Structure 1
Amino acid sequence: MPVSPSSRVPELGLVLPPAAHPDQLWPAVETADRSGFGSVWVTDRTIANTPWLEAHTLLGALAARTTRVRVGTSVLSVARRNPVLTAHALATADHLSGGRLVAGIGLGGLEPAEYEIAGVPMARRAALTDEYIGLMRRLWREESVDHEGAGFRCSGIGLAPRPAAPVPLWIGGNSPGAYARAGRLGDGWLSVFAGPDRFRTGWARVLDHAEAAGRDPGSLTPAAYVFAAIATEPGRAEAVLEPALRSLFGGGLDQYGTACLYGTPDRWVDTIGRFGEAGARHVNVLLFSTGLARDVETVAMSVIPRLGQPAQAPSRL
């Protein structure tokens, strides 16, 4: 049944799986761009027990292959990267997309070796993230930047082209530190490992931190990031999502199911509606699939129209 009109219907975003083959990837992206999806996102890992595409490279390709949807990172671990090079890469993606970039930023840390190969102690990642957020914003805004911080120094650095408008920074995570960082520094909050109930609680904490920092809580965007699978027959989505969760996180639906979006289109519509009731304005789904292009089309034609967002018939390549 459709989402109640009294609820604010979240916009649906597609988070691309770690390493989809181009034969599936680009038809799925084209479907998302031409249908009612609002955004398409890339993930960020270097060391994993499964193939994983590099985030900046894929983001640039995504910016060039789309014309309508926002494109973004969900989420980028900036603390393990040179902040000037990161700001340059993101500004380039924003330029290629015509100003459609949203940068999701988080600490990462599922694999500590990712920080080890960058020469960055895990214990410093929070402080570096805070510092780099401010520095990147300056690099996107100012002609020449001098910076002398605890984690990075530079002098006379200017990037061009710079974004024509501020790039929204959505802070990812479900921890006290993430709530505080989103409230103090973010343009939005991107939850992870949270179902609707936990989302509601986390969002309230983000707003508390925003108010404590003297910011307007209404200026922040609430968004949920969930792991997902879809099928028209009961049980099939669970069969896809269960092994994916165990491979990535060491636990299955018994542990993470309440923070996932899976099942038939009916179940998707119901769960998305509950996120909307909890305050989410966006629900971004990392879609695990045995046929990505097919499943994105299923979402476009069987879920999005029931959310009050019209879908256009996707073309086939």
Structure 2
Amino acid sequence: MQLPVQALSALFAEPWEAGAGPEDLVETARAADRAGFDYLASCDHVAIPRRLAPAMSTVWYDPVATLSHLAAVTARVRLLSHVAIVGLRHPLLTAKQYATLDHLSGGRLVLGVGAGHVPEEFAALGVDFGQRGALLDEAIDALRAALGPEEFPVHHGKAYDFEGLGQRPRPTQPRVPLWVGGSSPAAVRRAALKGDGWLPQGDPRDRLPAQIARLRQIRAEAGLHAPFTVGALTEPLYIGEPGWDVGRRTVSGRPEEVADSLRAYGAMGAHQIQVRFRSRSRTELIDQIAAFGAEVAPRLD
């Protein structure tokens, strides 16, 4: 699941999150850890232009700081950047931050990356927005080298070139999973060819089968047969009868009804689902997390 509080976009944040803070993040993370969730996700934006602030807000916690903070208060749940806009930063800087996070968390990092979509953000940091796809492609290659087992990584590319510079600590994991986010044709192709997994960006159910088929086709044509994680973002969920307006798209009902609905994602070929719960308070969110872990997740096996 994506964490509450750390991003307050009008597209998904609940009203109670506006007055929430670090304690709410910590308690939510602990609840997900107890309930058996696979990962917690944190978003990435450096700065939001005024024109987008009404819809996106300007509240976007830094993912490295946020996930590092939560690594210290959880035991087993993985920590996902969904997604890091890695083209905004030099890969050596990104590698230093996320290698340290993986080291401190005992090897729980999943590095989700994406191209970004806010031109003003790129301009403010001196990065060419028009080249963001090419920058991401090379950044992935550079990060593979910089997050690998070698203390002195080597990468020679058009935008990034480094050799002979040592970085420690190294990641705990021999290979940090790298998932590529996005649903455009370019993003799907990038995920298929360069990623260990794919994170869709809001594909509804009726679009997912074609996207997954395309991923498989690209990988087969390229002769890629290594394990690959296909993700899906579900509709908002509410376990039980809400007794309040949770929205037309929300999947709600008894645990077995919610599970029946979610099993469709597995039938499409998804290996994991990212869920979001409707809630009116931290207490209600934590209750939903616990109910999902105890009563819905076991029915998805």
Same-fold call, TM > 0.5?
A: yes
1: CA distance between counterparts of 2:167 and 2:276?
32
2:41 is aligned with 1:41:
yes
Highest relative contact order (Cα 8 Å, sep 6+), 1 or 2? Answer: 1
Amino acid at match of 1:292: R
Q: Which consecutive unaligned segments of at least 5 residues does structure 2 have?
A: 9-19
Q: Comparing 157-166 with 130-139, which one deviates more in the overlay?
A: 157-166
1: CA distance between counterparts of 2:93 and 2:76?
26
2: CA distance between counterparts of 1:214 and 1:306?
37
SS in 1 for 2:176: coil
Deviations 1:106-135, CA, capped at 9 Å, x for gaps: 1121x2212112211111111111111111
After superposition, residues 288-307 of structure 1 pair within 5 angstroms as 289-302=279-292, 304-307=294-297
1: CA distance between counterparts of 2:190 and 2:138?
11
Structure 2 residue aligned with 1:91: 99
Q: 1:29 to 1:265 in 2, by over 3 A?
A: farther
2: CA distance between counterparts of 1:197 and 1:64?
39
Structure 2 residue aligned with 1:173: 182
Q: Comparing 147-156 with 26-35, which one deviates more in the overlay?
A: 147-156
Could you tell me how far 1:190 is from its partner in structure 2? 0.9
Q: 1:93 to 1:283 in 2, by over 3 A?
A: same
Structure 2 residue aligned with 1:134: 141
Could you tell me how far 1:212 is from its partner in structure 2? 2.0
Residues 95 and 161 in structure 1, CA contact (< 8 A), matched pair in contact too? yes
1: CA distance between counterparts of 2:128 and 2:27?
40
Q: Comparing 95-104 with 41-50, which one deviates more in the overlay?
A: 41-50
Equivalent residues, number: 276
Deviations 1:12-71, CA, capped at 9 Å, x for gaps: x34444165123211111110111211111111223422221111112112222111111
TM-score, length-scaled by structure 1: 0.79
2: CA distance between counterparts of 1:302 and 1:96?
29
Q: 1:213 to 1:292 in 2, by over 3 A?
A: farther
TM-score, length-scaled by structure 2: 0.83
Structure 2 residue aligned with 1:185: 194
SS in 2 for 1:219: coil
Structure 2 residue aligned with 1:241: none
SS in 2 for 1:285: strand
Structure 2 residue aligned with 1:71: 79
Structure 1 residue aligned with 2:212: 203
Among 134, 147, 151, the alignment partner of 1:143 is 151
Q: 1:46 to 1:271 in 2, by over 3 A?
A: farther
Amino acid at match of 2:137: D
Q: 1:123 to 1:181 in 2, by over 3 A?
A: same
2:266 is aligned with 1:281:
no
Structure 2 residue aligned with 1:248: none
Residues 14 and 32 in structure 1, CA contact (< 8 A), matched pair in contact too? no
Residues 35 and 293 in structure 2, CA contact (< 8 A), matched pair in contact too? no
Q: 1:305 to 1:288 in 2, by over 3 A?
A: closer
2: CA distance between counterparts of 1:220 and 1:125?
24
Q: Which consecutive unaligned segments of at least 5 residues does structure 1 have?
A: 1-12, 239-252, 311-317
SS in 2 for 1:171: strand
Could you tell me how far 1:264 is from its partner in structure 2? 4.4
Amino acid at match of 1:33: D
1: CA distance between counterparts of 2:238 and 2:106?
31
Could you tell me how far 1:307 is from its partner in structure 2? 3.0
Could you tell me how far 1:278 is from its partner in structure 2? 1.2
Residues 234 and 274 in structure 2, CA contact (< 8 A), matched pair in contact too? yes
1: CA distance between counterparts of 2:121 and 2:254?
36
1: CA distance between counterparts of 2:290 and 2:2?
11
Could you tell me how far 1:291 is from its partner in structure 2? 1.5
1: CA distance between counterparts of 2:132 and 2:294?
38
Q: 1:304 to 1:269 in 2, by over 3 A?
A: farther
Amino acid at match of 1:153: D
Among 212, 222, 228, the alignment partner of 1:213 is 222
Q: 1:89 to 1:287 in 2, by over 3 A?
A: farther
2:24 is aligned with 1:24:
yes
- Identity of aligned pairs, percent? 33
